Amino acid sequence: MIDLHSHTTASDGSLSPDELVALAVSRGLEAIAITDHDTFEGYEQATPFAAKAGLELVRGIELNSRLERPGDRTRWVHILSYFPNSKPADSFVAWLRTQQAERRDRNRRLAQKLQDQGIAVTVEEVEAKGRSLAGRPHFARLLVEKGYVGNIEEAFRRYIGEDAPAFVERDSPDTPGIMRIIRDGGGVPVVAHPVRVGLPHDDAERGWLRSLKDEGLLGLEVIHSEQDASLQQYYGALAKELGLIPTGGSDFHGTIKPDIELGAGRNGNVRVPYEVLTGIKRISGEVS
């Protein structure tokens, strides 16, 4: 078994890259992809540990994009990108730096908006938790620690979630735009946890994915901790129908999401066979 969606302390996971490698080995996984938000730093740090442990490590990343549809609110869509055979192009790395700067700026604006609402949270405190690429889960933990909310879920619901009063938008590319950026960079773009996009499972979702395929989309994350067996079956059939490769992973974050296990997901709902990685490698070789 493998796991193609995991996070380290380089973004908002709680395990360091070497701890994540050790966990993957102890769980008997054949391969993992590290897919931190907006950075390859965790992957790069994990590389020597994985080599020593004999674990196959795949370079991945999770990126943010905005989906604008006529008559609909803005939706925020996570796109995974895999680079199984080669390093990303210089243009991609340069673009990534703009996204990292944008994330830092978003964090400053988010801290300010919370302060405006009487919440004593500074960006320095958040960065002390999550370093410069801190994310909203770090804000959420701080809000819990300071007693403003009882748990992480409540922090998102009452303050920093998409529909909450302190939410600030990020300046992210739109979904077609990010397809071109990833493909030009040599990556394999995959729509992450499609259930979270929140489109009804009918022609709305099908049509959107089909149009995105025309822009360069190659895969769909069929298996994910937040997708139960029937949804995995549904997305598996949809991927087949649209000619997208099915991928999967737990979205492991460590103690930030304590109910999700590496290589196993939530209550064992994630089981990803090695063939899934073979599919990614094959398509990566064909398109590059």
Binding footprint of Fe ion on the chain (CB under 5 A) = 62, 78, 192, 251
Residue 156, contacted partner among Zn ion, Fe ion, ligand AMP, none, CB below 5-8 A by kind: ligand AMP
Distance spanning both ends of the chain, measured CA to CA: 26
List the x/- string, 26-65, binding to ligand AMP by CB under 6 A: -----------x----------------------------
Residue 196: CB minimum distance to Fe ion, A: 7
CB 36 within 8 A of CB 14: no
Residue 38 binds to Zn ion (criterion: CB under 5 A): no
Closest by alpha carbon to 43, among 76, 80, 77, 78?
80
- For residue 199, what is the DSSP state? -
Which 121-160 positions form the footprint of ligand AMP (CB under 6 A)? 135-137, 152-153, 156
Residue 252 binds to ligand AMP (criterion: CB under 6 A): no
* Position among 125, 161, 167, 236 found at the interface with ligand AMP (CB under 6 A): 161
User: Which residues, 6+ apart, have CB-to-CB distance to 57 below 8 Å?
Assistant: 21, 31, 32, 33, 34, 43, 46, 47, 50, 51
Residue 44 vs 241, nearer CB to Fe ion: 44
Q: Classify 83 as helix, strand or coil.
A: strand
Residue 221 binds to Zn ion (criterion: CB under 5 A): no
Residue 36 vs 205, nearer CB to ligand AMP: 36
| Strand residue runs (E) in 151-244 | 188-191, 219-224
Farthest CA pair distance, the chain: 54
Q: Point out which residues bind ligand AMP (CB under 6 A).
A: 37, 135-137, 152-153, 156, 161
